[in-house]
Amino acid sequence: MSERSVTFWQLAAPVRGRVKLAGLLSALGAIAGVLPVLFAMELVRILVPGLGGAETNATQAYVIVGALIFGVVLAQALTLAGYGISHVADARLAESLRQRQVDQALRLRLDWFARTGSGRVKKVIQDDVVKVHQLVAHLVPDSANGLVRPLASLVVLFLIDWRIGLIALVPLVLAAASLPLMLKDVTTRFAQYNTALADLSAAVVEFVRGIAPIKVFEASAKGHRRFWDSARSHHRFYTEWMESTTRGSALMTVFTSPGFAVVVSSSGTALLIVLAGADPVLLLPSILLTANIAGPLYLMMQMTQFLREANGAAGSIVEFFELPAATQGDPGRRASGEAVDIDSVTFAYEDGPRALQDVSLALTPGTVTALVGPSGSGKSTLASIVPRLLDPDTGQVRLGGVDTTELTALELYRHIAFVFQQPYLMRMTVRDNIRLARPDATDAQVVAAARAAQIHERIERLPQGYDTAVGEDARLSGGEQQRLSIARAILMDAPILVLDEATAFADPDSEAAIQRALAELTRGRTLLVIAHRLHTVASAHQIAVLDRGTVRERGTHAELLNRNDLYARMWRTYQRARDTPLADTTTSPSEETKR
């Protein structure tokens, strides 16, 4: 058994017995399906003398017909039972896999999702399970049927008369001879086919995602060119491949067809009867069983690609289950204090350069620390590491002197709340979304938090007020979603707050409301804030200036201006941009920052 098959059996462990039973019943069904031919042969042997005027033994004929019917019904019943059991096994396996996936997803470090990307997460949680599901429900009984039926037919033919056994091998031998023509360069071609397909898929995604700019700038952007080029090259490759294998495929189709089996078996056996004086009744099993051999084996061969994919899918699911779980923390461990120490933290996203390199920063209780720096300098990554939305590759974050990985989620989020640009709203009611962080909060506390976050009145205007399902009954604007997540953080009432103060998508009214909500939220807390508008950080106790993943400067606003380095430049640019009307674009902030 290959390593990959072991993977499948490993995964199918909870239903292994059922899968084997389904395979066994299907194989028995295939054998039982061959037996009626023997009865039919006997029937002909009894009835044919009657055509010549001899007396027919009617009772014997009825018994044989009864046996024939029984054989057919038994074969069908066994096959159906095999499929029934495999489908039940499949449903059980899918259920247990999904359950294990949910458990594993909850155990995994959160940063696995951020590092991995949503496409791969969806593939392993959705697409791969569907492929394995096909494997269990169909492949095992289909294979048992597809291998045992030709084998049983061949054995029976040889047992009846070895000469009709040899005749039955003719289509199989011809099909095997045409195989090299059909499979010319198949491994290389398949690899090329997959590359062309992946390229086409990427081009389609790019095309669909960029459809708006492509339509708007149609004349100049040529955004659809890659899509066309990929589609044409895929088409060219496919046509050429098919042309080069057409002869082989055509021969294979002919040699494995039931018609060809009838031609070979009837003419071969007729010659045998005429020239060698064989029993004419041999025509019947020869014609009926020869068609059972090459065709089903060819179908089995076509299924190998499918089998390979399904085993690959089983492999990725097993790999997912084997991913290391996040440390769950010690339920007895408590943080003694509110000081946060970020100590020599390094972090890289999958396949990306280091987003943080040896970053250290201390947040003193009751103070405001602002993170500033050019776009891509690592501010969001660093902020995400504090509430463990990401875990550092090296270094640690300590809360009240305790490594945060030693604390349970409950203990950590008793101390640290966060509001990010991505509001993390779920498809549940507005009330439950706010209450997510504190399920025991009363309705009155939820409303109080919503009022403080300046979103209460808007919620009241929703179709079902606090019971409106987010994303289903009502769509919320970016600013409204952000105020909902501020309400959630207010309800968490944690002494430390990590905040991304972006209000880029908010209109002036909404922005003012968000600022009032934030003022309410940040009052009296230890704050780590990603500041996009520098005037809001001028009063911070500490400003950390990030540059390409490292802390380049640290100090108060006045100290950093005195240093006259990156922060001072950013500040000057910011001041100028604020005072410059939109039409005057002689210097862009980013240009100045880079200098």
Q: Which residues bind ligand ATP (CB under 6 A)?
A: 114, 349, 352, 355, 373, 375-381
Residue type, position 530, single letter: I
Residue closer to ligand ATP by CB (options 8, 571) is 571
Minimum CB distance to ligand ATP, residue 345 (Å): 12
Between 383 and 402, CB nearer to ligand ATP: 383
| Rounded least distance, CB 529 to ligand ATP, Å | 12
Between 352 and 524, name the residue whose CB sits nearer to ligand ATP.
Answer: 352
Query: By C-beta, is 157 or 383 nearer to ligand ATP?
Result: 383
Coil, strand or helix: which one is 532? Answer: coil
Kindly state the smallest distance separating residue 593's Cβ from ligand ATP, in Å.
Answer: 11
What's the N-to-C CA distance of the chain in angstroms? 63
Give the pair of three-digit tokens for residue 480: 């409204």
Give which of 477, 326, 456 is closest to 404, Cα–Cα. 326
Neighbour count for residue 160 (Cβ, 10 Å): 20
Residue number with CB closer to ligand ATP (302 or 375): 375
Q: How far is the CB of 528 from ligand ATP (least distance, A)?
A: 13
Name 396's bridge partners: 343
Q: Is the CB of residue 228 less than 8 Å from the CB of residue 262?
A: no
> From CA 586, how far away is CA 584, in angstroms rounded?
6
Dist CA 199 CA 123 (whole Å): 18
Least distance (Å) from ligand ATP to the CB of residue 378? 4
Nearer to ligand ATP, 402 or 540 (CB): 540
Gap between the Cα atoms of 316 and 325, Å rounded: 16
Side by side, the strands of the sheet bearing 394-399 are 354-363, 340-348, 394-399, 402-403
Structure tokens at 190: 């398949």
Considering beta carbons, is residue 380 or 481 the nearer one to ligand ATP? 380
Nearer to ligand ATP, 187 or 375 (CB): 375
In angstroms, rounded to a whole number, what is the distance separating the alpha carbons of residues 54 and 48? 9
CB of 359 to ligand ATP, least distance (A): 11
Q: How far is the CB of 478 from ligand ATP (least distance, A)?
A: 15
Closest approach of ligand ATP to the CB of residue 554, in Å: 16
CB-CB contact of 295 with 172 (8 Å) = no
Q: How far is the CB of 153 from ligand ATP (least distance, A)?
A: 57
* Shortest CB 430 distance to ligand ATP, Å: 27
Of residues 378 and 387, the one with the C-beta less far from ligand ATP: 378
Yes or no: say if 149 and 157 are a contact pair by the CB < 8 Å rule: no
290 or 377: whose CB is closer to ligand ATP?
377
Nearby residues of 179 by Cβ (< 8 Å), 6 or more positions away = 248, 252
Output the CA–CA distances (angstroms, integers) from residue 539 to 77, 112, 370, 535, 543, in the order listed.
Answer: 81, 36, 10, 8, 9
User: Which secondary-structure segment (H or E) carries 78?
Assistant: helix 58-107
- φ, ψ dihedrals at 567, nearest 5°: -60, -45
* Residue closest to 525 by CA, chosen among 376, 340, 345: 340
Q: Which is nearer to ligand ATP, 289 or 502 (CB)?
A: 502
Question: CB of residue 551 vs ligand ATP: minimum separation in angstroms?
Answer: 12
DSSP per residue, 114-145: HHH-HHHHHIIIIIHHHHHHHIIIIIHHHHHH
- As a whole number of angstroms, the distance between CA 192 and CA 197 comes to 8
Cα–Cα distance measured from residue 394 to residue 385, given in angstroms and rounded to the nearest whole number? 12
- The smaller minimum CB distance to ligand ATP, of residues 332 and 352, is found at 352
Tokens for 118, please give them. Answer: 């949503």
